[in-house]
Amino acid sequence: MSAVFNFTFVPWFRSVAPYIHLHRGKTFVVGIAGEAIAAGKLQHLAQDLALIQSMGVKIVLVHGFRPQVNEQLAAKGHEAKYSHGMRITDSVALDCAQEAAGQLRYEIEAAFSQGLPNTPMAGSTVRVISGNFITARPVGIVDGVDFKHSGLVRKVDTKGIMRTLEFGAMVLLSPFGFSPTGEAFNLTMEEVATSVAIELQADKLIFLTEIPGVRIHPGEPDSEDNPIDTELPLAAAEKLLAQLPNPSQPTDTAFYLQHCVKACKSGVERSHILPFAVDGALLLEIYVHDGIGTMVIDEKLESLREATADDVGGILQLIEPFEQDGTLVKRDRTEIERDADHYTVIEHDGVIFGCAALYPYPEAKTAEMAALTVSPHSQSQGDGERILKRIEQRARAMGVKSIFVLTTRTMHWFIKRGFVPVDPEWLPEARKRKYNINRKSQVLVKNL
Ligand SMILES: CC(C)(COP(=O)(O)OP(=O)(O)OC[C@H]1O[C@@H](n2cnc3c(N)ncnc32)[C@H](O)[C@@H]1OP(=O)(O)O)[C@@H](O)C(=O)NCCC(=O)NCCS
């Protein structure tokens, strides 16, 4: 084995460890668009899901079947009918949906049953259990359109699903539900996944979709300057949703976003939109710090917010001990008062226990994050990271391409979060003039 391998593998594996601990025992609801299976992604998805489950995550898998139903309809010489962005399920479409769901369940169960030696599935024992966990009701007649056998979720058998998960199995759901009279209704994968995530109060709702996520400037063309927004706070997601037109296609930005917002508002703290086109998308999102898709997160708004002049006292109290021991550069009260709106704070019950400031250098398309501090009483609970994410969002909104920090003691914390060390010469001219040679601060930059 080459020595280089040890130096890359070991730190890489250790970097994943915190996420393995974090997610153990948690419940994830994963919705897979039928398009992913049509595109031949099932084998790799099953391998990744089996791996995630083996690391202690309880998984409810909901598959979609839009293209498969349409294919069956085409084979029967029928056209797919939609209204209000929803399928109208006549009796032919219902037959097709039942056939497609049956076929897909077989394929999914088969994919989880492999265990050939020397493959990622070797030694995995994934028990997949499906069942009549969803009670449905008809959509009915909307604006004069009869949706026939199209339905909506009426009830989720939470106890049944929980018991199955606790038994160590993966729960597999098709977008079908039954009425108390035994009538079958065709549902949507998105609605089933969202309802199940809400009813279970799952830790994550994850959609594997045909889109890569939500872009920083939705509606503008994809480009390097318009990357995927990896973290959308619930309030921002709701605001965006209100501005977007009603979705009619799964590729419309609002299509999956509306379900993520609904889940988050109903107590599912994190919902994700990921591209199935990227191999290993689930692993990259769950076990890597920045992730690759968009995560809508319900961070308690009252706690993480931009500062006002009233917060200056709290900020000073927080940073003073770190100024005294030399971790932070001393700032005077007038400077903080003048720059209060540059600060982001975390507040709880009227006490500020985290802060950071952002100073833009627009001419160099960058901004400095300064005075990042979390109270010693609440360190190591992820607040430093939450503040960093918010500062990154503020920086993106300003249109800068990177953020930088100057630090003498916290280098590794930043490196772990995607910053890279650069020479002080890198600093924008205006900042270079203020650089204190004697302090020998390390400059670190993160591209946004
Ligand atoms: C750096 C700081 C903001 C992190 O805040 P936090 O809320 O504890 O951060 P998180 O919970 O997101 O991350 C905690 C992890 O970072 C690690 N960490 C904390 N300080 C670190 C440091 N100086 N170097 C490397 N890692 C550090 C912790 O050990 C913890 O790791 P663990 O989860 O494996 O136990 C906080 O430690 C702090 O206020 N430090 C003093 C002020 C400071 O140095 N600010 C930076 C100025 S440039």
Cα of 444 from ligand 1 centre, angstroms: 15
DSSP state of 46: H
Cα–Cα distance for residue pair 34/16, rounded to 1 Å: 30
Hey, how many other C-beta atoms are within 10 angstroms of the C-beta on 95?
Answer: 17
Of the candidates 219, 241, 225, 285, the one whose C-alpha atom is nearest the C-alpha of residue 447 is: 225
Q: How confident is the model at residue 119 (pLDDT cuts 50, 70, 90)?
A: confident
- Asked whether residue 340 carries a pLDDT value surpassing 60, the answer given is yes
Mean pLDDT of 48-62: 96
Hey, how many other C-beta atoms are within 10 angstroms of the C-beta on 24?
Answer: 11
Q: What percent of the chain has pLDDT over 90?
A: 74
Cα of 322 from ligand 1 centre, angstroms: 13
Range list of H helices, 114-206: 158-166, 189-200
Mean pLDDT of 277-294: 92
- Asked whether residue 91 carries a pLDDT value surpassing 60, the answer given is yes
Q: What is the 3-state secondary structure (H, E, C) of 375-435?
A: CHHHCCCCHHHHHHHHHHHHHHHHCCCEEEEEECCCHHHHHHCCCEEECHHHCCHHHHCCC
pLDDT in tens, 354-365: 999 999 999 999
Of the candidates 161, 167, 37, 163, the one whose C-alpha atom is nearest the C-alpha of residue 105 is: 37
- Asked whether residue 300 carries a pLDDT value surpassing 70, the answer given is no
Ligand 1 neighbours by CB, cut-off 6 Å: 18, 322, 327-328, 372-374, 379-385, 405, 407, 409-410, 412-413
pLDDT in tens, 7-21: 888 888 888 888 898
Cα of 370 from ligand 1 centre, angstroms: 14
Cα of 63 from ligand 1 centre, angstroms: 40
Cα–Cα distance for residue pair 166/169, rounded to 1 Å: 7
Please give the pLDDT value at position 1: 66
Structure-block tokens of residue 411: 């280098």
For the CA of 371, the nearest atom of ligand 1 = 47
Mean pLDDT of 283-292: 88
Of the candidates 399, 407, 405, the one whose C-alpha atom is nearest the C-alpha of residue 363 is: 399
Average predicted confidence (pLDDT) for the chain = 92
The torsion angles phi and psi of 186, rounded to 5 degrees, stand at -85, 120
Residue nearest to atom 41 of ligand 1 (CA): 373
Mean pLDDT of 101-130: 89
Please give the pLDDT value at position 41: 97
Count the alpha carbons within 13 Å of 426 in the hemisphere toward its beta carbon: 19
Cα–Cα distance for residue pair 417/445, rounded to 1 Å: 11
H or E, element range at 104: helix 91-113
Count the alpha carbons within 13 Å of 288 in the hemisphere toward its beta carbon: 13
Highest mean pLDDT among 14-18, 94-98, 297-301: 94-98
- Asked whether residue 139 carries a pLDDT value surpassing 70, the answer given is yes
Task: Supply the DSSP string of 153-174, one letter for each residue.
Answer: EEEE-HHHHHHHHHTTPEEEE-
Cα of 372 from ligand 1 centre, angstroms: 10
Q: Which of 344, 379, 417 to mutate to test the pocket of ligand 1 (most atoms within 8 A of CB)?
A: 379
Mean pLDDT of 265-290: 93
For the CA of 410, the nearest atom of ligand 1 = 23
Residue nearest to atom 27 of ligand 1 (CA): 413
Of the candidates 400, 376, 370, 412, the one whose C-alpha atom is nearest the C-alpha of residue 388 is: 370
Q: What's the predicted TM-score (pTM) here?
A: 0.72
Cα of 409 from ligand 1 centre, angstroms: 10
Range in 113-127, 239-253, 259-273, 326-340 with the lowest mean pLDDT: 113-127
Q: Are strands 82-83 and 86-87 parallel, antiparallel or unpaired?
A: antiparallel
Structure-block tokens of residue 10: 């070991």
Of the candidates 375, 368, 444, the one whose C-alpha atom is nearest the C-alpha of residue 409 is: 444
Cα of 283 from ligand 1 centre, angstroms: 25
Of the candidates 291, 280, 226, the one whose C-alpha atom is nearest the C-alpha of residue 253 is: 226
For the CA of 373, the nearest atom of ligand 1 = 39
H or E, element range at 304: strand 304-306
Residue nearest to atom 35 of ligand 1 (CA): 380
- Asked whether residue 111 carries a pLDDT value surpassing 90, the answer given is yes
For the CA of 370, the nearest atom of ligand 1 = 48
Residue nearest to atom 14 of ligand 1 (CA): 380
Task: Supply the DSSP string of 234-303, one letter for each residue.
Answer: HHHHHHHHHHSPPP-STTSHHHHHHHHHHHHHTT--EEEEEETTSTTHHHHHHHSSS-SSEEEE---TTT
CA distances from 395 to 119, 216, 405 (A): 43, 12, 13
DSSP β-bridge partners for residue 209: 275
- Asked whether residue 23 carries a pLDDT value surpassing 90, the answer given is yes
Q: How confident is the model at residue 349 (pLDDT cuts 50, 70, 90)?
A: low
Mean pLDDT of 277-291: 91
pLDDT in tens, 156-173: 999 999 999 999 999 999
Cα of 107 from ligand 1 centre, angstroms: 46
Structure-block tokens of residue 375: 């109270």
Reported residue count of the chain is 448
Q: Which of 412, 413, 445 to mutate to test the pocket of ligand 1 (most atoms within 8 A of CB)?
A: 413
Q: What percent of the chain has pLDDT over 70?
A: 99
Mean pLDDT of 319-338: 91
For the CA of 406, the nearest atom of ligand 1 = 48
Tokens 């049956």 belong to which residue?
Answer: 102
For the CA of 327, the nearest atom of ligand 1 = 44
pLDDT in tens, 382-437: 889 989 999 999 999 899 999 999 999 999 999 999 999 999 999 999 999 999 98
Q: Which of 343, 373, 407, 410 to mutate to test the pocket of ligand 1 (most atoms within 8 A of CB)?
A: 410
Of the candidates 39, 40, 87, the one whose C-alpha atom is nearest the C-alpha of residue 66 is: 87
Please give the pLDDT value at position 132: 94
Cα of 185 from ligand 1 centre, angstroms: 51
The torsion angles phi and psi of 313, rounded to 5 degrees, stand at -55, -45
